[in-house]
Amino acid sequence: MNEFDVQKRYLQCVTYMITKLKMFDQGFRDYEGRYLHIMDTREATTGELVELKTNFKRSLINFGSLVDRFQELEAPTQYQQQHQHLIWIYRDYAAAVCDMIDAFNVTDYAICHTKQDSGHAQRTRSLTDVKQLLAEEYQIA
């Protein structure tokens, strides 16, 4: 495989990871909305709430595994720095989502709200960083 083919395949992997990030983020927003609705209305049983959390936790673990596999990918020389930066952003994003999920388990409303705000800010920063990295470093729009 020549260098051009390696670069092309690598950029296909980057694009795939972005697609997965978008899917995961939409799933998180759906989960968050459903969870907050359940907590406001108390319409779900404890079992349904546990199932919702379990399904999302599994999704988060799968996303983490995907990031691990992406990290193991050998990036072409000209993309190695961007590759490491992208991995760092993905991990930062996942940490933000974990913080937001942890906030759901806090009973003190003020602390929960603070953790939620902090997590949302970090999540938004990570998503913005991904867009910027793609546009400026990878030249993928």
The domain limits of the chain are 3-138
Distances (CA, A) of 87 to 77, 111, 127, 132: 16, 29, 12, 14
Per-residue model confidence (pLDDT) at position 107: 65
Residue 38 near residue 52, CB atoms below 8 Å: yes
pLDDT tens sequence across 79-138? 999 999 999 999 999 999 988 888 777 666 677 778 788 888 999 999 999 999 999 988
| CA 13/CA 19 separation, integer angstroms | 10
Per-residue model confidence (pLDDT) at position 115: 79
pLDDT tens sequence across 68-91? 999 999 999 999 999 999 999 999
Per-residue model confidence (pLDDT) at position 78: 92
**Nearest partner of 60 among 92, 28, 87, judged by Cα:** 28
Per-residue model confidence (pLDDT) at position 109: 66
Alpha helices in the chain (DSSP H): 3-41, 46-72, 80-104, 109-133
- For 57-86, give one letter per residue: b (16+ CB within 10 A) or e: eebbeebeebbeebeeeebbeebeebbeeb
CATH architecture of 3-138: Up-down Bundle (1.20)
